[in-house]
Structure 1
Amino acid sequence: MKQFVSFRQEKQPKRRKKDMLEEYDIDKLNPRPNPYIRKNKSNITIRLDDEVLEYFKSLSEDLDIPYQTLINSFLKDCAKNKRQLVWSKSS
């Protein structure tokens, strides 16, 4: 009886057990931070007025950058410069 082997299985290199350790000593692994990771960003849900969203979308098309990046840049600038909103309640 002939056994069929798929092409992928045929081309995979054979793994040798002696190359793999049973256990690894984590203290000897010398962990280091990944230099390719960007600063963390949080996924949130935010409700914006339609005209605000349309403004940022049209501005992002003019500048050729994603609108979410543009909104983040505006908010980052506000936080960096500690901008305060002057809020007055309407009568």
Structure 2
Amino acid sequence: MEFKGTKGRLIYKPTQKTNGKVDKFRVFKEDKQGFYDSGLCLIENDNDESEYNALLFTKAPEMLEEIKRLVKALKIVSPYRVTGSVIDHAEKLIKEATEL
């Protein structure tokens, strides 16, 4: 279950303003020199949740990797103390996030 999406540090920045209100958030990938590409996607700022969605989008790859490491550690450290359904559910979510 390898993540095949964009790897590396992602950030978001507000773009395009109309009447002082942010219209969109653009998601960027940081390169090795600390610069950002032209943008991976635009998230419309159409409700109060839009900026939170942009933030979550930028953290998703890192969170996925941490969850994979936690599942692996749980299987080794406490396979009997953690219910199998917790590990099974986490593995199902990982699969759903890494396969089209």
User: If the TM-score is normalised by the length of the shorter chain, which range does it land in?
Assistant: under 0.3
Q: Which has the higher strand share?
A: 2
Higher-RCO chain (CA-CA 8 Å, sequence separation at least 6): 2
State which structure, 1 or 2, has the greater radius of gyration over its C-alpha atoms: 1
Q: TM-score, normalised by structure 1?
A: 0.25
